[in-house]
Amino acid sequence: MNGDQSAAHHDRYRRDLLVAGVFLLLVGAFLGIGSSTADAFPWRQGACDGLVNLNYNFAGTGWTPTREGWFSDGADDWDSIRKPNGGYLVDSASGGNIEVWIKDTGPGGGGVTSCVLGNLKSITIDPDGLSSTQFRAVASHEVGHAHGLDHTGPYDSFDGDLPTMTAGCALDEIGKGFADTIGPEQDDYASLTATFETDYHANNGFERGSSLFWGKGGGASVAIKNGGVDGSAKYARLYGYGGYMYQTIRIADSPNSSRARINYRKYYSISSGTVWAGLYSRKLDYVNDTTTSCAGTGQYHNGWNFVSPTVLTGWTYEKGISRTPSSSWNYGTSSLWSDASGWDGTDLRLYVYNYMKHEGSSTYVRLDRLRAYKS
């Protein structure tokens, strides 16, 4: 729970006016539209402590079987995100004690998530003018808060698309709407993983069945295969001597302490060489801009305003490991990197390189659970 949200939090995700207020021990955060071009910040604990299992019931009037289906679809968007070692991070189902209401909360549709002292109390959906897709997007956003996630900026760290947890006050100025936030995107995956696990990176066990969220270079090719560490469902097969995979995650909270951690295994028993993994970072700074609709409302992390960050440094190598794969799965962890810079944010990039050869030619290496490990 954020220190400045000591009693209660209301997230109003809507398309009209922006209002913010603090009354006694009640903290209300009301989202509107408007932003500059801030990138997404994937991980920061939200005002709600976060539920692994969200069991809800449709309270009051206004619900129809169709609307109930739209809400459930939005909640279920999070249920497909797997743990690095198998299984799922969260689950949502109707028939529980968390009340979900249909209410008119003002002009324009949207949503409100209410938490008191970190504990989720209710979710409210205002259906005014919402299509089925918009209703689902609003539901998914609010359920993200229920699972403990904070807002992000409107551009995903991987492909620039809109994360589900984009703050509502960002959408109008970039010409987007609720329907554009149907996801989740990399930053949403990373947020949920970091909330309940010890890792920052998204799809680090390749359980999604694709190499999505991972870039590649150096002539590398990547294929996702069945069977991984400890019988997990998937692993990545990286091909090409000197080829590499990488993923960038933008982290809101500083200081940050991380270790590079990977699982690895050779592909052919007589192949030889090494696999290398390393963490790189660059520092970010945010400036005050009172001209944006999100400015000064506490809607963005630590009350930062929606402006593009200044990149204070280039990419700096922090920690790395080199290992010699065998015919069995093994793991390696780098020494601890601690960032005590005090800047507003950090871009953290994990590289994994293949330096394996088979009979003098490029070959494969098996990789699984590639991540920046929180310490």
pLDDT in tens, 291-330: 556 654 444 433 343 445 677 788 999 999 999 999 999 9
Q: Say how far residue 16 (Cα) sits from the centre of its chain.
A: 26
Model confidence at 343, pLDDT cuts 50, 70, 90, reads: low
pLDDT for 33 equals: 23
Q: How far apart are CA 352 and CA 216, in angstroms?
A: 9
User: Is the pLDDT assigned to residue 290 strictly greater than 60?
Assistant: no
Q: Which of 317, 256, 299, 237 is nearest to 38 (CA)?
A: 299
**Are 90 and 196 a contacting pair, CB within 8 Å?**
yes
| pLDDT tens figures, 163-181 | 898 877 777 667 888 999 9
What distance in Å separates the CA atoms of residue 58 and residue 101, rounded to the nearest whole number? 6
Give the per-residue pLDDT at 335.
94
Contact 142, 11 (CB under 8 A): yes
Interval 149-162: pLDDT, tens? 887 767 777 887 88
- For 269, counting Cβ atoms within 10 Å of its Cβ (0-12 exposed, 13-18 middle, 19+ buried), the class is exposed
Cα-Cα-Cα-Cα torsion 358, 362, 366, 370, nearest 10 degrees, comes to 140
Lowest mean pLDDT segment, chosen from 195-209, 258-272, 344-358: 195-209
**Does CATH place domain 215-374 in 2.60.120?**
yes
Structure tokens at 190: 């990373």
Predicted TM-score (pTM) of the model is: 0.80
d(CA 132, CA 135) in angstroms, rounded, equals 5
Q: Where are the beta strands (DSSP E) in 172-266?
A: 215-217, 221-226, 234-239, 244-251, 256-266
CA-nearest of 228, 257, 259 to 366 is: 228
**Please, where in the chain does CATH 2.60.120 lie?**
215-374
What's the average model confidence in pLDDT over 46-56? 87
Q: What is the pLDDT of residue 79?
A: 94
Q: Please, which pLDDT band fits residue 287 given cuts at 50, 70 and 90? A: low
CATH assignment, 8-196? 3.40.390.10
Confirm if 362 and 271 have CB atoms less than 8 A apart.
no
Which residue spans of the chain are classified as CATH 3.40.390.10? 8-196
